[in-house]
């Protein structure tokens, strides 16, 4: 049974960065927010292609393993793919090089001129869709073949799916820092614990993992 | 060496309740926020006077024990003591009955007409002070005799001490619910992790304990 999954990073004060630039597409706060996750063995392997076994293997890594498991298709926003940063570049293929770490069909939500699908190495295909999120989700669910659909981000896409009540499994990685600026993620989660069951766990790194499961 | 301690409850989205009424001085959100703490054996004993051993004995209780240990004096705001709710009642002695659970001198910050100190059973004495918080803290530190000074609350008093940089040990009890209303506690804590060391821990109840230690 396909579930709709979303993983989000947030500071303790509920901010997710909003300061991206072309040189630093995630913004300068992103590194502090994601340091514990980027330190995991699984992240080293899946994102850096480093199979030396380097990286942490504790609670953070357990969640990182789960992040990459059981995903049939992914949906991301135009901004996450990079269309807002490089709107005029018809050859833009995302931030992830020739072999993106998805390995699945990825549906990119875009209201600009339609683009042909792009087949990448490693099993990733980028499809561009301008339909309503419910319709794109239906297509992604069909294509997932019983596996899960991951909402990849960024923030405004995550917010759209959260507010539409479409997320079954939400994983919040709460980093114990106070960013004091960015998008106010908590505003989108009011009452979430009334429809979803909450668990909390702290990793060796100090990172707090909160899961909300419908 | 006296340290200045502050314990705060907050929802995951950083709210502490702001809906008190005379009938419900803590506000209706308070019960949900503090349920895990109120369930501890130590809270049952110190606040309810229940020495039957009833209550939880896990991580939440360990923090509850620490809450009551090593405190020499306490400082609280006029609102927490009840002066805002019952401003005309010269005989008002706080919410806690004849034997308040403090057992120490308690300095109540008040800008209204001076009141004589009130000696209660169990070692609690309420003193009323209209001086600057730094001056009241100096008096409370002197009276603590090497033990700690606890900032008891409520929110605006906590905020004043936080913003003045006077808190050495901050203990945040983060309840995994989204209140979506109240005082925005996180706004007062921006950059706190730059001056204080952070630890995070989750109790069996799911309550997240964050400590920030100078």
Domains with residue ranges and CATH for chain A: 4-213 (3.40.430.10)
**pLDDT > 90? residue A63:** yes
Q: What are phi and psi of B28, to 5 degrees?
A: -75, -20
Q: How confident is the model at residue A176 (pLDDT cuts 50, 70, 90)?
A: very high
**pLDDT > 80? residue A40:** yes
Note the pLDDT of residue B19.
Answer: 65
Alpha helices in chain B (DSSP H): 30-38, 41-46, 59-68, 78-81, 133-144, 155-163, 192-195
Per the omega criterion (within 30 degrees of 0), is the bond before A154 cis? yes
Looking at every residue in chain A, the average pLDDT score rounds to 91
Note the pLDDT of residue A25.
Answer: 62
Q: What angle do CA A142, A148, A152 make, to 5 degrees?
A: 105
> Which residue of B lies nearest to A14 if distances are taken between CA atoms?
B13
pLDDT digits 0-9 by tens, A66-104: 999 999 999 999 988 988 888 888 889 998 899 998 999
Sort residue B27 into left (φ over 0), alpha (ψ -120 to 50) or beta: left
Q: Compute the average pLDDT of residues B11-31.
A: 77
**pLDDT > 70? residue B20:** no
Per the omega criterion (within 30 degrees of 0), is the bond before B201 cis? no
pTM: 0.85
Note the pLDDT of residue B152.
Answer: 93
**pLDDT > 70? residue B72:** yes
pLDDT digits 0-9 by tens, B79-124: 889 888 888 888 899 988 999 989 999 999 998 878 999 999 999 9
- CA distances (Å), origin A24, targets A17, A29, A83, A97, A152: 12, 10, 15, 16, 18
List chain B residues with CB under 8 Å of A12: 14, 174, 186, 189, 210
Chain B residues with CB under 8 Å of a chain A CB are 12-14, 174, 176-178, 180, 186-187, 189-193, 198-202, 206-208, 210
B178 vs A192: CB contact, 8 Å cut-off? yes
Closest partner CB to B198 (pick from A176, A186, A192): A176
Spatial distance between the Cα atoms of B2 and B204, rounded to a whole number of angstroms: 31
A186 vs B178: CB contact, 8 Å cut-off? yes
Note the pLDDT of residue A20.
Answer: 63
A177 vs B193: CB contact, 8 Å cut-off? yes
**Å between B213 CA and nearest CA of chain A:** 13
> Which residue of A lies nearest to B189 if distances are taken between CA atoms?
A178
**pLDDT > 70? residue B26:** no
B13 vs A14: CB contact, 8 Å cut-off? yes
**pLDDT > 90? residue A22:** no
Closest partner CB to B186 (pick from A178, A200, A210): A178
């Amino acid at each position: 049974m396909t579930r709709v999954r979303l993983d989000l990073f947030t500071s303790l004060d509920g901010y997710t960065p909003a300061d991206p630039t072309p040189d630093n597409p995630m913004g300068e706060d992103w590194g502090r927010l994601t340091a514990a996750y980027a330190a995991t063995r699984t992240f080293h392997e899946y994102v850096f292609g480093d199979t030396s076994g380097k990286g942490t293997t504790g609670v953070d890594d357990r969640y990182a393993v789960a992040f990459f498991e059981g995903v049939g298709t992914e949906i991301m926003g135009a901004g996450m793919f990079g269309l807002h940063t490089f709107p005029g570049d018809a050859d833009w293929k995302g931030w992830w090089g020739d072999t993106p770490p998805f390995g699945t069909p990825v549906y990119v939500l875009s209201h600009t001129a339609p683009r042909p699908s792009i087949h990448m190495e490693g099993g990733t295909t980028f499809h561009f869709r301008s339909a309503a999120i419910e319709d794109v989700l239906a297509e992604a669910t069909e294509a997932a073949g019983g596996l899960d659909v991951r909402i990849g981000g960024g923030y405004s896409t995550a917010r759209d799916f959260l507010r539409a009540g479409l997320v079954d499994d939400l994983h919040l990685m709460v980093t114990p820092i106070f960013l004091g600026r960015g998008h106010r993620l908590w505003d989108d989660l009011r009452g979430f614990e009334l429809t979803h069951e909450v668990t909390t766990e702290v990793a060796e790194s100090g990172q707090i993992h909160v899961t909300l499961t419908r």
